[in-house]
Chain A
Amino acid sequence: MQMVGKIISIFDISIEVVLSSDNVKVGDILEVVDDPNYRFEVVEISNTSATCISLGSTRGLKKGLDVKILSHGIHVEYSDKILGRIFNSYGIPIDKRKIESVKTRRTDHPTTTLQELNIESQILWTGIKVIDFFAPLQKGFKMGLLGGAGVGKTVLIKEIIHNVYTSLNSNAIFTGIGERSREGQELYSEMKKSNLLDKMAMVYGQMGDNPVSRSKAVYSGLTMAEYLRDEKKQDVLLFIDNIYRFIQAKAEIATELKQILIGNGYPSDMASEMSKIEERINSNQNGSITSVQAIYIPADDLTDESVQTIMSYMDGQIVLDRKVAELGIYPAIDVFNSTSKLVDVEKIGERHFSLVESVLKTLTRYNELEEIITVLGIEELSEEDKLIFYRARKLRNYFSQPMFVAEAYTGIPGEFVKIDDVLNDVEAILNGKYDDIDESKFLFIGKVS
């Protein structure tokens, strides 16, 4: 293709090109003539110049180099060839194998229309006690997975992949955004080992990559999920780890482009950029996309502007808590803040609903009692409160669970627990059936046998 302009300025990832052609559009991918190492995306054009962001490193780039149009937008494979493969943010396989392309599609795509949108669907049990009990999932749901650093978020995502995968029998997409490369490698080899790899595709723009790469991974992953939903008519699972890193990358790009930022350095178009993604993750007449999106909380601050923006799209949330992790209870879920739109008498039924209420009541009382005990000692409690105290501790321990993917850490084999068993066990603990059993016996078990 012919040359369309020359580089006039370079500052980190932002590049200015003087145009000699009026063919260039926003979103086009430009490439330095004779050097495919340097590729840029056009983000702004005037009648004489184009502002671009570099897809890779700009080290060694010079002023005056000629550029050409490589493609209109980023394209990824849109066929079964994605399965079992691992891609970078720009849709290029990184598993050292060639891809024989059947069909590709541009990664920026319109959102689901109101007409296409389908909101009816069934419950999706994960086999993880604390999630199924407090925050059950539905096909087509968006579940936020919140947690500060180092409280076991990624392990939980892997466990959900493992459990839901075995029961749903449809393909999954894993999108890694700004997370650890080591974990990317591990997930890949774990999936390979358990023969799940050829049933999923992975897209990675990890934390060592430049912000442009990190901001593009989600579009590529989403396009692949849309392929599975629209062409293969599946109920797709889409994992995004971590959606916060998308906004973080956008903030870095906005800073480089010298845009005006809002508080804490976030880009002003954060909400509209999020909408363009979240409104594509939906169910339609072809199938559903159920997504679990890990949300990192910067500085452990739940009121952070970007976290709030992301949360507004979620149908439920699972909150991981450092204090629970400190007690050695995993998954370290904060049951008071974890919930989903399914927790409703009409949706999960009278029994489940009232059990959730009583458990939360018992645990709330336990927290109050704990404060009293710190001051006065346990013997000062009334008989009734003592029962609540010990039963609450049993409940708390019961909601820990041996996980399949954590077997290496704990040495305890994982378990998939059916919701009926969970309801029976919780009822029995609340009714005092297990008052004589030591609380430590409830730690890291499946169902009470």
Chain B
Amino acid sequence: MDKGIDSNVDKVISNIYTNENVYATGRVTRVNKYNIEVSGLNDVSFYEAIDVNHKASGYVMGIYANKIIVSLVEINEEIVPGDIVYALKKEFKCLFSPDSMGKVIDIFGHDLIAGKSFEKTVEVPLENPTIPIMDRTAVTREFLTGIIGIDLMYPIGKGQRQLIIGDKKTGKTQIALDAIVNQKDKKMICIYVAIGKTKKEVKDIYFELTKRGAASYTIVIASFNDELPTRTYLTPYVATSIAEIFMMQKYDVLVVFDDLKKHADVYREISLTSKKTPGRDAYPSDIFYTHSRLLEKGAQHIGGGSITMLPIVETKSGDITDYISTNIISICDGQLVLSAKSFARGEKPAINYGLSVSRLGGNVQTPDMKKVGSKLRRELLSYLEVRSVYELANIDEMSKELQKKMRDGKVMVNKLKQYKFSPRTKEEMKAEFAFLFEESTDLEKKINDSDGTHSSSDGNYQEKDHSNTSLNIEKN
């Protein structure tokens, strides 16, 4: 008994001598924006939480023989070399409160609109391990956005990652907000992640969602453009860890990342600051992995829950073939491409139907929607293609079939226009496009009756006369 106490006392004393009492400590030797070097801290683990003299906090991101590198995520006061550093003997984690629903929060358990900390919080890891292949099941359940062009032609399923990509001011965020608002009474939890946005933008979005009654099931997790890049960088990962908590409790979760181009730029800044060798466009070599491991958390889990992801990427002058865009396109299960041209024409939502893709397609639609959707998509794409070739031709001189196609095409494009926050139900969508089926059967009958004479577009074009075209223009 005595021996036990003795050995305990000896252990504590020896711990004090070796700085292993409660917290290990070291000293700051170098400060570089949000990375600091610390010496004297020997017994730390990778990603351990670190406190710098109550002035700043962060985590271990490098361990060397004679120093460690700490990445800071919160700096309240200026740090100077010589400041004492505490290793907190636990993995660095963020905080999340179960009371966050309907609030704008950050990743440290603060309610930003009320300007205070939550009372009840749970710890959330920065990242969880990847979801194993065998813990996933097929993505088959529909996720309805209420937008006709999406739900019918480029459907999204629960557990799908669908990219929204386009230039500034083409309505990218609006599509995501429409999708959130349409989840009312659908038992979805929505998480809107603002990455490096302005405070004004975030407050606008928050009010918009509250006004539309979406706040009761939505959490806005925000990082602002004037915050530490390290914090902005972590925000989408922590948001995903939060989404995973819900998924494991069998909830269906929607996560919107607005936007990942900004995230890539922030990560580039961090990498270059820590002197990593740059690759294409000065992005670090692991920029793909940065986004792939984030977006791979979008899944239909075998337990029943799911995480649907709508990442947003901003492009310049409509170029979706730049490095970051193609990376993220190659990770996602499809993309909705928004076009500035359609936007200017008033064809809103300004979806470029030719470039948009859903890799899951009909798999996530109910048979009735699939039937209308695949027909509409075929007809519309074929119209859009024909339109570009025959735009200059006189419609009166066209074959009956082509005339019909041009007329139907215009109707389709008009019917796809939709105001913001005016979701349609599946029934409304199907009813709108029922005409595709009625008339096409009529058309086929007509062609059969006339023994295919109308179906040869060659014949009709040969008679075309140039003077007719100009005459027609004058009449108009």
State the A residues within 8 Å of B (CB): 8-12, 16, 57-64, 86, 94-96, 148-150, 154, 178, 180-182, 184-186, 188-189, 204, 206-211, 248, 251-252, 254-256, 258, 260-261, 264-266, 296-300, 322, 325-328, 370, 373-374, 376-379, 383, 386-387, 390, 408-411, 435-440
Ranked nearest first, the 7 interchain pairs of A and B with the lowest CB-CB distance are A265-B279, A208-B296, A149-B329, A208-B130, A207-B292, A149-B330, A409-B361
Residue interface mask B364-396, A partner, CB < 8 A = 1: 000000110010011001100100111011000
Which of the 9-residue segments B37-45, B50-58, B173-181 touches chain A? B37-45
13 other contacts beyond A180-B333, A411-B374, with CB at 8 A cut-off? A10-B63, A62-B63, A148-B321, A149-B326, A180-B296, A254-B285, A265-B278, A298-B280, A298-B326, A299-B280, A322-B355, A438-B401, A440-B382
Q: Could you tell me if B129 and A57 are in contact, using CB atoms closer than 8 angstroms?
A: yes
Q: Residues of B contacting A435 with CB < 8 Å? A: 456, 458
Nearest A residue (CB) for B334: A150
Verify B299–A181 contact, CB threshold 8 A.
yes
Q: Within the complex, which residue of B131, B332, B392 is in contact with A181, where a contact is CB–CB below 8 Å? A: B131
Q: Decide yes or no: A150 and B357 within 8 Å by CB, A10-B63, A206-B296, A207-B292 being known contacts.
A: yes
**Cross-interface CB contact of A383 among B276, B296, B455, B462, cutoff 8 Å:** B462
Other-chain residue from B43, B283, B354 in contact with A63 (beta carbon distance below 8 A): B43
List the A residue with the shortest CB-CB distance to B357. Answer: A150
Contact of A207 among B139, B293, B381, B393 (CB under 8 A): B293
Residues in B whose Cβ lies below 8 Å from that of A437:
452, 455
How many angstroms from the CA of A379 to the CA of B464 in the assembled complex? 6
Contact A386 B458 (CB under 8 A): yes
| B65 on the A face (CB < 8 A) | yes
Distance between Cα atoms of A86 and B136 in the complex (Å): 14
Residue of B nearest to A9 (CB): B64
A180 to B133, CA, bound (A): 9
A265 and B455: CB pair below 8 A? no
Give the shortest distance, in Å, between A153 (CB) and chain B (any CB).
9
Asked whether B207 is an interface residue with its Cβ less than 8 Å from the other chain, the reply is no
If A265-B278, A265-B285, A409-B361 touch, does A94 touch B132 (CB 8 Å cutoff)? Answer: yes
Interface size, chain B (Cβ < 8 Å): 84
Q: Kindly report which residue of chain B lies nearest to residue A393, judged by CB atoms.
A: B389
**Min distance, Cβ A26 to any Cβ of chain B, angstroms:** 22
What's the least CB distance linking A182 to chain B, in Å?
6
CB contacts (< 8 Å) of A439 on chain B: these are 457
User: Roughly how many angstroms separate A418 CA and B62 CA in the complex, as a whole number?
Assistant: 60
A299 to B47, CA, bound (A): 33
Q: Are A11 and B63 in contact (CB under 8 A)?
A: yes
Give bound CA distance, A182 to B139, whole Å. Answer: 8
Asked if B91 and A59 sit within 8 Å, CB to CB, the answer is yes
Nearest Cβ on chain A to B439's Cβ, whole angstroms: 15
Give the chain A neighbours of B296 by CB distance below 8 A: 180-181, 206-208
| Cβ–Cβ contact A207 & B456, under 8 A | no
Pick the contact of B279 from A64, A189, A261 — CB < 8 Å? A261
Inter-subunit contact A326/B354 (CB<8 Å)? yes
Knowing A206-B296, A265-B279, the reply to whether A255 touches B285 (Cβ < 8 A) is yes
Contact (Cβ within 8 A) A378 B329 = no
Residue among B130, B321, B363 making CB contact with A408, cutoff 8 Å: B363
Please measure, in the bound complex, the distance between the C-alpha atom of A11 and the C-alpha atom of B362, giving whole angstroms: 45
B86 to chain A, nearest CB (A): 17
B134 contact from A96, A180, A261, A376, Cβ within 8 A: A96
